[in-house]
């Protein structure tokens, strides 16, 4: 049995751009935890400076009903926020500014259905979005919105750049 099913929202989603909300930045509902789904991040404890900062996301449907979410591209689907040791959010790269500055428009909007007990996974090089140009201690937190839960927040994960 497959854990998730992709459903096209209609042919128009490929013909006309769609506005995509910033899930954690501008939504009036703050990211939360939910009994319906669990979002986690995995990252290496130590990464060499100048190497990609690879994060793996996992969204598990812990409910007895299917949940649905928009699927565009990983940097939008799993909105990651990176912080230094003082708690300040890192500066965005030029690419990060392009994908985080409203209006956010994308031609690829597909609805993903996650069946009960199913898991959706994705990987992202977070250094494409944030400037990790200095060694030090960092943390990441992610957000992923579903129609049934609203914006979900992951636990904060810590790592070092050496």
pLDDT above 90: residue 84: yes
- Nearest of 157, 71, 59 to residue 109 by alpha carbon: 71
pTM: 0.77
pLDDT digits (tens, 9 = 90+) for 88-122: 999 999 999 988 887 766 666 788 899 999 999 99
DSSP letter (8 states) at residue 73:
-
> Confidence band (pLDDT; 50, 70, 90) for 12?
very low
Three-state SS for 77? helix
Domains and CATH numbers, the chain: 4-161 (2.60.40.2360)
């Amino acid at each position: 049995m497959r854990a998730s099913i992709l459903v096209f929202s209609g042919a128009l989603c490929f013909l006309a751009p769609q506005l995509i909300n910033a899930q954690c930045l501008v939504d009036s509902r703050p990211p939360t935890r939910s009994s319906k789904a669990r979002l986690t991040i995995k990252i290496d404890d130590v990464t060499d400076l100048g190497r990609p900062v690879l994060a793996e996301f996992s969204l598990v449907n812990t409910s007895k009903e299917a949940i649905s979410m928009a699927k565009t591209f990983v940097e939008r689907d799993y909105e990651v926020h990176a912080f230094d040791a003082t708690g300040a959010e890192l500066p965005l790269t030029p690419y990060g500014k392009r994908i985080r500055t409203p209006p956010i428009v994308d031609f690829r909007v597909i609805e993903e259905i996650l069946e009960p007990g199913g898991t959706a996974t994705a990987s992202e090089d977070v250094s494409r979005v944030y400037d990790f140009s200095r060694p030090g201690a960092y943390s990441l937190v992610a957000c992923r919105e579903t129609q049934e839960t609203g914006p979900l927040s992951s636990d904060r994960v810590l790592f070092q750049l050496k």
